[in-house]
Structure 1
Amino acid sequence: MGRSRYKFFEHHYPYFITSSIVEGIPLFIHPGISKIVLDALCYLQNENKVTLYGYVIMPNHLHLIAEHKALSEKLRAFKSFTGRTIIDYLLEKNSKNILRQLSSKKLKNHRDSKHQVWQEGLHPKQIFSAKMMKQKMEYINYNPVKAGFVENPVHW
């Protein structure tokens, strides 16, 4: 995933992954944009056979626990597809203010697009024990509670 210092080492373990929107722009408060991400997660699971153990979509970032022998490549494609689709959605909705923000925050080395949706790289953390899996799943489930969006994780 670009020039990230975070790496996937062993491919037979699940990974806890965080991926954020550039500059923390809260794109996922828009239901249409969240649906793009949800549909892409379903595609990862159903078509690419990525095992998704859990995920949460927050206003400006995404956490997930996933496993696949080529997880890095699958997530690179996921971010590329969702980024392009989100830009198309925003263009269709004539969301000039958000598009302007995504354009102004674009890294100079991203020459193939006028906009940048996702921050470069991922932050994968290998899950190597049942205890760690439990901790990361609880983190995902309680992230919206901690942020004050809901009082009970089942409401998110």
Structure 2
Amino acid sequence: MCISIFGDQSPRIKPHKAYLWTNSIRDGRGILLNTQNREIILKSLRRLVWEGKIKVYAFVIMPNHIHLVWEFLTLDCEDIIENFREETTRLIVNNMNIGCPDLVKYFKTGKGIRKYRIWRKKPKSMLLQSKSQISNALMYVHNNPAFDRWGLVKSDTEFKWSSAGYYDSGIDPFGFLTHYLGSEDRIPGMA
């Protein structure tokens, strides 16, 4: 069963707090089935972590959307999100120009310097304020590929494009994950 755990409105994102964040591809197009497009998202997240701008506690890259549980480490949270969306749009459009030029036309907006838009305009986010909320968000993110609607895998740890395996094995094949409890058994944004 696929459920929405978001309220009606997304809060303004602030640094040093954990958020469940979701962004979908325009009109639900399944462009994230493409391995190179998924790798583009992973590389962008890895770069942001290595630059000290974010921590990623959990993620899943679904065929037409992504879920992240992340924390911003600098004050420019909204700029980081917009840059992530712009960078991934540019690189995914370049990748589609090589393999699917007809599909690229669908994402063309023809407006200003941002000629393409692959992401929906308004991502959803939810502030996670307790250990229980973070645990529930991780379960939601990791179980997404196994929900009946998708049926991509039987077990969440089987899905390659997710952090579920990290929480099962303790091994981070992506090189950018942080366990949500960390070494101090703390909750991001809480003393």
TM-score range, shorter chain: 0.7 to 0.9
Letter in 1 for 2:12: F
**Distance 1:9-1:33 versus aligned 2 partners, 3 A rule:** closer
CA drift of 1:90 comes to 1.4
User: Which of 83, 88, 102 is 2:89 aligned to?
Assistant: 83
Q: Which runs of 5+ in 2 are unaligned?
A: 1-8, 160-191
Residues 1:78 and 1:48: Cα distance change in structure 2 (over 3 Å): farther
User: In the alignment, is residue 56 of structure 1 matched against residue 60 of structure 2?
Assistant: yes
2:131 matched residue in structure 1: 130
TM-score between the two structures when normalised by the length of structure 2: 0.71
Relative to structure 2, which stretch is displaced further, 69-78 or 51-60?
69-78
Distance across 2 between alignment mates of 1:53 and 1:8: 19
- Shift of the alpha carbon at 1:9? 4.8
The unaligned stretches of length 5 or more in structure 1 are: none
More helix by share: 1
Aligned to 2:153: 150
Q: Deviations over 1:78-110 (max 9, x none)?
A: 1111101111111233x122112212xx4x7x4
- Cα RMSD (Å) of the superposition? 1.7
Deviation track 1:101-132 (CA, whole Å, cap 9, x = no partner) reads: 212xx4x7x43233211111221110000000
| Structure 1 runs, 4 residues or longer, greater than 3 Å off | none
Between the two proteins, the alignment pairs up a number of residues equal to: 147
Q: Normalised by the size of structure 1, how large is the TM-score?
A: 0.86
Residues 8 and 126, structure 1, Cα contact 8 Å, conserved in 2: no
- Where is the strand percentage greater, Structure 1 or Structure 2? 2
Tell me the residue number matched to 1:47: 51
Corresponding residue for residue 117 of structure 1: 118
Tell me the SS of whatever aligns to 1:79: helix
Residues 1:97 and 2:102 aligned together: yes
